[in-house]
Amino acid sequence: MGKPLFYEILEKPATSCMIGICSAIWFYIQKKNIGYQHVGLSYETAAEGHHWRIITSAFSHISVIHLVFNMSALWSLGVVEQLGHLGLGMAYYLQYTLVLVVLSGLLVLGMYHFLIQRFKVEYFRRVTAVGYSCVVFGWMTILSVKQPSSKLDLFGFLSLPISFAPFESLIFTSIIVPQASFLGHLSGIIVGYAIAWGLIHGMTNYWAVSMLGWIAVAFVFSLKRSGAYDFNFLEIESVTDPSLRSVRFIGNARTLQMSTIPVEGVEIV
């Protein structure tokens, strides 16, 4: 008999939090009747400045089956938190989950760009990706390198050797779920190998928190700039001081206000 669920949650706190976040977002999406086109990532929306979708697409699931599959795999991959002796552990898990979310999203956009610009495959301009699969496939890959003897348990009864799990799952999902994002899953595998082989390394709590802060800033400003959400408190009002002389640059409609206090050695013609 396995351990009670409560003890397993305590052993995988970060994994449990990620599952809780994704489940809560799925519930909110269902309650508000939000479609994948409102939160998903596509080349077209990214080109329009909706960069915030790199984050929302990763944590959003529209189908309950999609959610259950990803969270079941993620729960099994939570063993990473218990492998501190291999240089992994909870801090490593959180740090590189952040890397996987961002880099896999950027990589899939890069793949779309290459296919559209080089091979004129316009299909990838509008295809929209949602789901945590990129992160799940990334952790499958990392674990297959760091702990190849591990098993990936799905739905509590299906067990796969972790060493083959990334590509087995890639082929399996492509056949069973034709609308699954092959490039999204592949991007997770590529970033996962880059992390496992040390090509991407050096993450610490300091860099992770710094990265998270910059992501939050970029997320908010991207939301505002794209018009998806209006943050009134970020509105910058133009202030004109009538006591300052204005100099207008012809052609670009910009006005520079200059002090009338004379400056030695400078002449304004």
What pLDDT digit, counting tens, does each position of 79-105 carry? 999 999 999 999 999 999 999 999 999
Instruction: Average the pLDDT over 108-122 and give the result.
Output: 96
Whole-number percent of the chain with pLDDT over 70: 84
Q: Of residues 27 and 175, which shows the higher confidence score? A: 27
Distance CA 107, CA 127 (A): 15
Q: Is 41 helix (H, G, I), strand (E, B) or coil?
A: strand
Which is catalytic among the residues 57, 72, 76, 133? 133
CA-based torsion, 43, 46, 47, 50: positive or negative: positive
Distance CA 233, CA 221 (A): 12
Whole-number percent of the chain with pLDDT over 90: 66
Nearest alpha carbon to residue 224 among 52, 46, 32, 34: 52
CB atoms within 10 A of CB 10: 11
Residue 204's pLDDT band (cuts 50, 70, 90):
very high
Has 133 been annotated as catalytic?
yes
Q: Is 256 helix (H, G, I), strand (E, B) or coil?
A: strand
Distance CA 81, CA 267 (A): 66
Judge whether residue 268 has pLDDT over 80.
no
CB atoms within 10 A of CB 199: 9
Instruction: Enumerate the domain spans of the chain.
Output: 5-226
Please, which residues bridge with residue 258 across strands? 245
CA-based torsion, 51, 133, 201, 198: positive or negative: negative
Tokens of 83: 């492998």
Q: Name the range with the highest mean pLDDT among 54-58, 68-72, 146-150.
A: 54-58
**DSSP E strand boundaries for 132-244:** 151-154, 158-161
Q: Is 88 helix (H, G, I), strand (E, B) or coil?
A: coil
What was the pLDDT predicted at 243? 58
Which is catalytic among the residues 50, 51, 61, 185? 185
Could you please state the CATH topology (level 3) that the domain comprising 5-226 is classified under.
Rhomboid-like fold (1.20.1540)
Q: What dihedral angle (degrees, nearest 10) is formed by the CA atoms of 85, 89, 168, 193?
A: -90
Summarised one tens digit per residue, pLDDT across range 206-217 is 999 999 999 999
Has 104 been annotated as catalytic?
no
Summarised one tens digit per residue, pLDDT across range 228-243 is 887 666 554 544 555 5
